[in-house]
C-alpha cells in the first residue's frame, strides 16, 4: 500500500510543466537536460551537486538550473522526506527576455516566504478539473515567480558549500571546450596530467557520475543543440564524434525520451 505522505502532482501545458512531489522520483540518472529548471527544495536530507560546487540544501532553498548544466540531487535521508516543487520549461511565449535574465547562471538561494507561497498556491490547484483555468493560473504564478526571483548566490556561511576538486574543475573545462573531439576518457586524463583511473575516482567521488557517462551526455546535449538549430541528425552525430548513427540514435532516444527528429518539438520531460 502506497504511503499517503508520498505523492507526485502535476500541471502540464504545452510550454511549462509544474510538479509538486514528496518521495517518488520519476527519473533518476539524467544529469544534463535540454530544458530549464526552477527547483524549490522544501525538506529532506538532500545534497545538490554541480560541476562547480556541491551543497547540502537547507529547507526552502530555491535552485536555479539553466538548461544543459550538469547537476545531480543526492538524497541521503529517507526518500519519502524528499519534498519539492519543480518547474521544467524551455521557451514561454512573451517571457523570453525575462527567462534569459533569470536563467543566466546556475545558483541557489534562500526562498522568501512570499516566493514559497506562490509555489504552494499553484500546488493547491493540481487537482483542478478545469484545465483551461489551471493553465492560466500556472502561467500567471510562473511569471510572478520569475519576477520575484533573485539570482545572486547566498552567503556560503548559511550553507555547507564546497567547491569541487581543482582537477575536476580543470577536466570539466577541458570537456566543455573539446566535447566533440574527445574520443575516450584517456584524452581528458592526459589533458589534466593524471591517470584515467584517478580521474574516474574523482568524478565518481565528487560528481557521482563516471567521466565516460559525463562525456557521453555532454556530446548528446551538444548534438541535440545542433539538431534544434537546423543541423541534420546524421551530420550532428558525426560532428559530435559519434561514428555510428544507429548507436547515436539509440543513446539519444534513451537520454531524451524522443527521437532526434522530434528535437525542439517535445514538451519538457519530468526530472527529480
Structural domains present in the chain: 7-158 (2.60.120.280), 165-262 (1.10.10.60)
- Please state, as a whole number, how many other Cβ atoms lie within 10 Å of the Cβ of residue 57: 23
C-alpha cell at 239: 560532428
Q: How confident is the model at residue 1 (pLDDT cuts 50, 70, 90)?
A: very low
Distance (Å, whole) CA 29 – CA 115? 29
**How would you list the strands of the sheet with 7-12, edge to edge?**
7-12, 16-22, 83-89, 36-43, 61-65, 107-110
Q: Is the pLDDT of residue 268 over 60?
A: no
Q: Which residues fall within 8 angstroms of residue 208, CB to CB, at 6 or more apart?
A: 49, 72, 74
Average pLDDT over every residue of 53-71 = 95
C-alpha cell at 54: 556541491
CA-CA-CA-CA torsion sign (134, 136, 137, 142): positive
pLDDT for residue 162 = 86
At 132-188, the pLDDT tens digits run: 999 999 999 999 999 999 866 665 556 778 899 999 999 999 999 999 999 999 999
Distance (Å, whole) CA 82 – CA 91? 28
Quote helix, strand, coil % in the chain, to nearest 5.
Answer: 45, 20, 35
Residue 104's SS3 state is coil
Planar angle of CA 68, 69, 71, nearest 5 degrees: 130
- Please state, as a whole number, how many other Cβ atoms lie within 10 Å of the Cβ of residue 157: 7
Distance (Å, whole) CA 143 – CA 145? 5
Amino acid at each position: 500500500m502506497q504511503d499517503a505522505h508520498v505523492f507526485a502532482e502535476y500541471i502540464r501545458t504545452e510550454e511549462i510543466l509544474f510538479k509538486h512531489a514528496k518521495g517518488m522520483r520519476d527519473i533518476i540518472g539524467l544529469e544534463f537536460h535540454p530544458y530549464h529548471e526552477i527547483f524549490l527544495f522544501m525538506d529532506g536530507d538532500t545534497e545538490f551537486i554541480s560541476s562547480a560546487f556541491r551543497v547540502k540544501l537547507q529547507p526552502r532553498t530555491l535552485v536555479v538550473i539553466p538548461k544543459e548544466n550538469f547537476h545531480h540531487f543526492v538524497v541521503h535521508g529517507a526518500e519519502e522526506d524528499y519534498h519539492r516543487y519543480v518547474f521544467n520549461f524551455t521557451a514561454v511565449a512573451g517571457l523570453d527576455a525575462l527567462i534569459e535574465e533569470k536563467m543566466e547562471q546556475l545558483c541557489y538561494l534562500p526562498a522568501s516566504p512570499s516566493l514559497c507561497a506562490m509555489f504552494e498556491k499553484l500546488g493547491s490547484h493540481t487537482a483542478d478539473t478545469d484545465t483551461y483555468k489551471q493553465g492560466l493560473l500556472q502561467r500567471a504564478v510562473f511569471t510572478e515567480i520569475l519576477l520575484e526571483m533573485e539570482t545572486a548566490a547566498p552567503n556560503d556561511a548559511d550553507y555547507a558549500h564546497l567547491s569541487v576538486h581543482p582537477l575536476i574543475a580543470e577536466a570539466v573545462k577541458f570537456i566543455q571546450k573539446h566535447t566533440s573531439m574527445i574520443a575516450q576518457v584517456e584524452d581528458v586524463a592526459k589533458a589534466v596530467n593524471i591517470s584515467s583511473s584517478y580521474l574516474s575516482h574523482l568524478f565518481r567521488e565528487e560528481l557521482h557520475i563516471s567521466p565516460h557517462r559525463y562525456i557521453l551526455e555532454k556530446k548528446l546535449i551538444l548534438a541535440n543543440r545542433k539538431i534544434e538549430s537546423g543541423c541534420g541528425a546524421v551530420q550532428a552525430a558525426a560532428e559530435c564524434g559519434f561514428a555510428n548513427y544507429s548507436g547515436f540514435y539509440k543513446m539519444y532516444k534513451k537520454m531524451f525520451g524522443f527521437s532526434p527528429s522530434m528535437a525542439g518539438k517535445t514538451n519538457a520531460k519530468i526530472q527529480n
